[in-house]
Each structure stands twice: as structure tokens, then as C-alpha cells.
Amino acid sequence: MGRDRLHTELIAGLDIGSSAVRIAVGQFTSSKESRSNLQIIGAVSVAAEGVQKGQITSIEDTVSCVSQALEHIEKMIGVPIEHVWVGVSGNQIIVQESKGVIAVSRTTGEIAPEDIERAVDAAKAISTPLNYEILHVLPRSFAVDGQTGIKDPVGMTGIRLEVDTKIIYSVSSHIKNLTKVIYRAGVDIDDFVLSILAAGYVVTNGRQKDLGCVVINIGGPTTSIVVYEDGDVLHSAVIPIGSAHITNDLALGLRVSIDIAERLKTQYGECVSKDISKKEVVDLLDVGSDKSEVVTRYYIAQIIEARVAEILEKIDEELVRIERSGILPAGAIFVGSGSKISGLVDSAKEGLSLPAQLGYPLGVDSIIDKVNDIAFAPAVGLVKWGSFSSQNTRRHLSFSLKGKVGEKVKGIFKSLVP
């Protein structure tokens, strides 16, 4: 009887962005007979307040947005949310390489999972930049007695185990503020995950990650990227320019308010100007202005095109830094609301000299439309990340804050919860 019982567990992903707070909730169902299945059962978004440039600028406002989003989702799914996987964005992350070396513990020389953990711990023993803390330690490859390029050394025999890792740091104050916000909103924290890693995890398949690809999240004030190769994270970076800059450019270029500029961008914007007839005009009355004034769509597109080209250039600069400019066979995959600008995929093919596409969640089932909204990739990604991590306690996607700083901070802030 027990064998047939379904194991179900709710996994929630919370993505606090500068424009919106988004939550996705999934249910992982597995039975002995069928393959595991992740089903997204709810997704909501609430306009963000108290977050600027990915940083929390008002705890009170952010708590109220997160609480509102939690209320909405609980109404939607009919069950309370008790804990969440939290996405970390913001423009202050540092990526560093570090090597860990240990002697294999067993006398037989057979490498055990504990050895992997010790090697990863050894990699962490480098000096952490001031005011930063480790968010992820991503093992890239291992070497056993000098033989390099090993992906999974468990069960192999040797004396010396080395691991090459990427360590991702986030500003400590940001993690502390996020922790405070989430506890005040009355939920527990499963763990913190860099938003772009969560997004990348759900919109790419193993083959794309093996071949090499870059996942790009164009948000409001920032654009974040993660590059994969040989199945692992090769690089990640945050560029302090995003779609909000396009809105500002339109406001300045056309001398209109931010609200009108925003509507022009989302309703009439396009980032390839050459395709637009110079005769096509938009009356500002149609986008909320109180007086009639016409602007050409061509001019709007030119303004957008210039900023999109700059964003693409900055992304390419990151690819140049890791010697992958124009040579990632699985191309660029775009997520985030900013990527909804019409013509982006074509611009990116040209600007990055790579294949390009929009990124949709893979390996999740749902009847909820929002799941296929590219804006929800980080939230849905957090759910998939969470479901994987809770099933694979030993083989984490990364070795992260959980049980370390997270627990400590949790302890401090838990006492603040009413």
C-alpha cells in the first residue's frame, strides 16, 4: 500500500525584482511507478515597491508587497505557504574561481560523497571580499591524482582529490535585508539562489548547457547573465543597464512623462528601426497624454535600438572576457519582462553573432499561463531548483548558504517575527 502512495510537497519560489514581486508554487509528485513530475499550481505577480536597482530600499514597503503576493497565491492555491526559495538579484555579485584540495579519507582510496563535500569546503577557504558572503559554490570539475576533467569522482580510487569551483558572492547587507523582509512577511526561507541561476536552470536543457549557451534576464534596472559550458556554469554577471533605461531614454528623447514613455515602449516599441515605415505615427493621446501630439514609430524604435545595442554590447563584453564571444553554439536565451521588446531576438542574433531565442520553462507541467511568461522564469526556476535540491540532498546543484550563514541569520530574524 505504502508503495503506491504519492509523495507530494509544495515548493514556492519568490523572486523580488525592482518592478515586480513574483511567486510561483509547484508540487512535486512522485510515485515508485511513474517518473517524477513537477507541476506548477500557482503563479502571481504584484507591482514592487521598496526595491530599487535590485536593492531593498524600504523594508516596510517590500514586506507589504511580499505579504500581498503571498496572500494572492494562497487564495489561488488554497493552501498556506510556509517556506520559500528566495531569488537573489541586484547588481552586486562577485564571481571568483577557487580550487580545493584534500587527501581522500578512506584507507581503500575510494572517493565518497563526504570527500566531495570536504574538497568543496576547502575551496571555500579563500578570503571573502569585505562585506560579501558566499551565495553559491559551484563545483565545475574534479581531478583525482592529477587526472583532470572528472565530473563525478564518487566511487573512483585515488589519494588526492582536487575540485575547481566558481564561488558566487552577494553583498551581505542584501541577504540580511531579504531575510528580514521574508521573516516579517511570516514565511521561512528554504535557501537563497541567485535569480539568474534559477532562471537558467529552468529554461535550458542538458544539451544546450553542454554545448554552451548564455541565458540573459533583461529586468528593469539590470540585466543578468549566466553562461554554461560542458554542463556547468562558466560565468555569471550583472550589467547595471536594463529596460528601465529604455523608458528613461524615451522620456528624455520625446519629452514625455515616465508613464507615457513606458506605454510607448510596451505598446509601440520595437528594436529594429529599419523595418518601420517613417510614416507610421503614434498619437500621444492614445498612451495617456492630455494633449494630442504625434511621434513616428521610427523615432521611438531608433531610441530603443540604441539602448538595446548598448545592452547587447555589454553582454558581448562579458563573453569576450571569458573568450566566448560569438562562439556559444546553443546561443542566447532571453528571459525577463525587458526581453518582451519586439524585435529583440533579431537584434540579438546580429548584436551577439549568436543564435537567439526566448526562454520558456522546460521539465515542468502546468495549466497556468503565467508559467510560459518569460517574466516568470526566475520564480519558476526557483521552484524547479527547490524540487531538485529537496530530492537530492546529497548532490546539491550547488553548495550554498543553507545550514551556514542562512541558519545564523534565520536565528537572528526569527526572533523579530511577531
Footprint on this chain of ligand ATP (rule: CB under 6 A)? 17-20, 48, 54, 89, 219-222, 242-244, 247, 262, 265-266, 269, 336-338, 340-341, 375
Q: Name which of ligand ATP, Mg ion, none residue 343 binds, using a CB cut-off of 5 to 8 Å depending on partner kind.
A: none
Between 51 and 234, name the residue whose CB sits nearer to Mg ion: 51
Between 20 and 312, name the residue whose CB sits nearer to ligand ATP: 20
CA angle 343, 349, 355 (to 5 degrees): 120
Q: Which amino acid is at 195?
A: S
Q: Name which of Mg ion, ligand ATP, none residue 54 binds, using a CB cut-off of 5 to 8 Å depending on partner kind.
A: ligand ATP
Helices marked H in 172-330: 172-184, 195-203, 206-211, 243-254, 258-263, 297-321
The C-alpha cell of 254 is what?
520625446
CB of 378 to Mg ion, least distance (A): 6
Q: Looking up cell 571573502, which residue turns up?
A: 128
CB of 66 to ligand ATP, least distance (A): 13
3-state secondary structure at position 234: strand
Between 243 and 400, name the residue whose CB sits nearer to ligand ATP: 243
CB of 47 to Mg ion, least distance (A): 13
Between 53 and 166, name the residue whose CB sits nearer to ligand ATP: 53
Q: Name which of Mg ion, ligand ATP, none residue 19 binds, using a CB cut-off of 5 to 8 Å depending on partner kind.
A: ligand ATP
Provide the angle, in degrees to the nearest 10, between the axes of the packed helices 172-184 and 59-77.
50
Between 123 and 341, name the residue whose CB sits nearer to ligand ATP: 341
Q: Name which of Mg ion, ligand ATP, none residue 136 binds, using a CB cut-off of 5 to 8 Å depending on partner kind.
A: none
For 50-205, list the strands marked E by DSSP. Answer: 51-52, 55-56, 83-88, 93-103, 132-144, 147-150, 160-171, 188-194
Between 158 and 200, name the residue whose CB sits nearer to Mg ion: 200
Q: Name which of Mg ion, ligand ATP, none residue 338 binds, using a CB cut-off of 5 to 8 Å depending on partner kind.
A: ligand ATP
CB of 189 to ligand ATP, least distance (A): 19
Between 30 and 52, name the residue whose CB sits nearer to ligand ATP: 52
- CA-to-CA distance for 331 and 322, rounded, in angstroms? 15
Q: Name which of ligand ATP, Mg ion, none residue 263 binds, using a CB cut-off of 5 to 8 Å depending on partner kind.
A: none
The C-alpha cell of 286 is what?
492614445
CB of 54 to ligand ATP, least distance (A): 4
CB of 60 to Mg ion, least distance (A): 21
CB of 308 to Mg ion, least distance (A): 17
Between 100 and 336, name the residue whose CB sits nearer to Mg ion: 336
Residues that bind Mg ion (CB under 5 A): 17, 219
Q: Which amino acid is at 80?
A: P
Helices marked H in 106-239: 113-124, 172-184, 195-203, 206-211
What is the b/e burial string over 229-247, where b = at least 16 CB atoms within 10 angstroms of the residue's CB?
beebbbbbbbbebbbbbbb
The C-alpha cell of 94 is what?
562577485
Q: Name which of Mg ion, ligand ATP, none residue 242 binds, using a CB cut-off of 5 to 8 Å depending on partner kind.
A: ligand ATP
3-state secondary structure at position 329: coil
Give the total residue count for the chain. 418
CB of 219 to ligand ATP, least distance (A): 2
